[in-house]
């Protein structure tokens, strides 16, 4: 089961605290879980622990529910709010766009983010701004600004 959890979410500290605290009987956690297609889904795990009279765990009853869609909607709203706030700041458009890409990168879901615009003739794409993670810093963008 633990092998299917996303490495960033697989921390046993909460679980160890829960299991070893005889006063706790309700467990709840959201984490990314690897599906059969090797993509990750956000899931919510809810369980109730039955303990004996000494507080030792004897049985657990629970469920695992896919909450990927809800997480995506929450993330979308969060990003929209942050972008709205950026446009209220007295910054140049290029600075705002750069900050938007930085926000995407902070989410940890991307290693490269870009904003491209098509020229007025419609025959060329122009790279307006980009951001890449430190581990992906391979000078990909050094001489690359347009695509026809």
Q: Read off the pLDDT of residues 56-115 as tens digits, 9 standing for 90 and up.
A: 999 999 999 999 999 989 988 988 998 899 999 999 988 999 888 888 887 766 778 888
User: What does the CA dihedral 87, 91, 96, 99 come to, rounded to 10 degrees?
Assistant: -110
Give the closest residue to 106 by CA, choosing from 64, 75, 147, 146.
75
- Please state the pTM of the whole predicted model: 0.60
Can you list the pairs that 34-41 forms with residues at least 24 positions away whose Cβ atoms lie under 8 Å?
Answer: 34/4, 34/5, 34/6, 40/6, 41/66, 41/68
């Amino acid at each position: 089961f633990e092998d299917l959890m996303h490495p960033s979410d697989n921390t046993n500290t909460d679980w160890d605290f829960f299991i070893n605290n005889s006063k706790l009987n309700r467990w709840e956690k959201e984490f990314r879980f690897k599906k059969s297609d090797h993509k990750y889904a956000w899931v919510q795990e809810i369980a109730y622990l039955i303990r004996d009279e000494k507080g030792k765990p004897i049985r657990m009853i629970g469920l695992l529910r896919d909450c990927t869609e809800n997480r995506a909607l929450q993330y979308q709203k969060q990003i929209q709010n942050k972008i709205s706030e950026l446009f209220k700041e007295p910054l140049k458009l290029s600075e705002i766009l750069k900050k938007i890409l930085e926000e995407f990168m902070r989410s940890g879901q991307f290693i490269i983010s870009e904003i491209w615009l098509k020229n007025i003739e419609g025959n060329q794409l122009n790279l307006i701004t980009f951001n890449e993670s430190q581990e992906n810093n391979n000078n990909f963008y050094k001489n690359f600004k347009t695509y026809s």
